[in-house]
Amino acid sequence: MLRHAAIISLFPLLLLAAPASAATKAQKMETCKFGADDQKLTGAKRNAFIARCMSNKDDKRGQAPKSGGGPAPYGSYQ
Q: What is the pLDDT along the chain (78 residues), one digit of tens a residue?
A: 777 776 777 667 666 555 555 578 888 899 899 999 999 999 999 999 999 888 866 556 556 556 655 566 666 665
Q: What is the pLDDT of residue 25?
A: 87
Taking alpha carbons only, the member of 66, 71, 32 closest to residue 49 is 32
Torsion of CA 57, 63, 19, 38, to 10 degrees: -40
Q: What is the pLDDT of residue 78?
A: 56
Q: What is the pLDDT of residue 42?
A: 93
Residue type at 16?
L
Q: What is the pLDDT of residue 52?
A: 87
